[in-house]
Structure 1
Amino acid sequence: MAYRLQCDSCDLESEYTDWADANSDASDHEAEYADHWVSIVDLQEA
């Protein structure tokens, strides 16, 4: 599967193949920027 990080407050957009890596980087970004909210979007097509 593929996942994309998207931040509501900046232009962060990164793609990952592993959810755990995406989650870790999203948490790190939110810890560094307390007013940012990062979503992990599943890129799997229906």
Structure 2
Amino acid sequence: AFLELEDPAILRLMAAEGFGPVSDADYDVVRALERSVADYR
């Protein structure tokens, strides 16, 4: 749904210029970061 979003007013509310397709693997870096900061909780 977000891939087709082009309304400038709505994008501005989201502080975004647009959206692109991503895969589950794109979030691997986030998962790795979560594990590395777990000791600081």
Instruction: Please state which structure has a larger fraction of its residues in helix.
Output: 2
Highest relative contact order (Cα 8 Å, sep 6+), 1 or 2?
1
TM category (shorter chain) comes to 0.3 to 0.5
Greater percentage in strand: 1
